[in-house]
Structure 1
């Protein structure tokens, strides 16, 4: 007597999600390769300065949004 039988419907769902994940991984790899090609000629120092500028810019904007949320008059 078999208590645990395999469900054949799960197999098709698993392959669909596998196809979706393979497609997304392929697209992600293509975008990553394209971005690496774009930044191939940029020096490491410039990339670090750009990252610091980006973090400061959006960090200060988020702090501004938080402060304005607490100071709003209802």
Structure 2
């Protein structure tokens, strides 16, 4: 896991994050997505890409960073 990625302890439900999508056929070619966390699918200890979450949109992925405040 990258030292810059947030840990599970840094994250909470409802937090807006940027993720690398994991549930798309073209996930490697898709830009990072931003959305609110609705559920945690893993912690950083079980996933080498970081904490895996599901966003409100239903998309799943590994958290890259917490989205900046607007």
Q: How does the TM-score come out when normalised to structure 1? A: 0.16
Which has a greater percent of strand?
2
Higher Cα Rg, which structure? 1
Q: How does the TM-score come out when normalised to structure 2? A: 0.17
Which has a greater percent of helix?
1
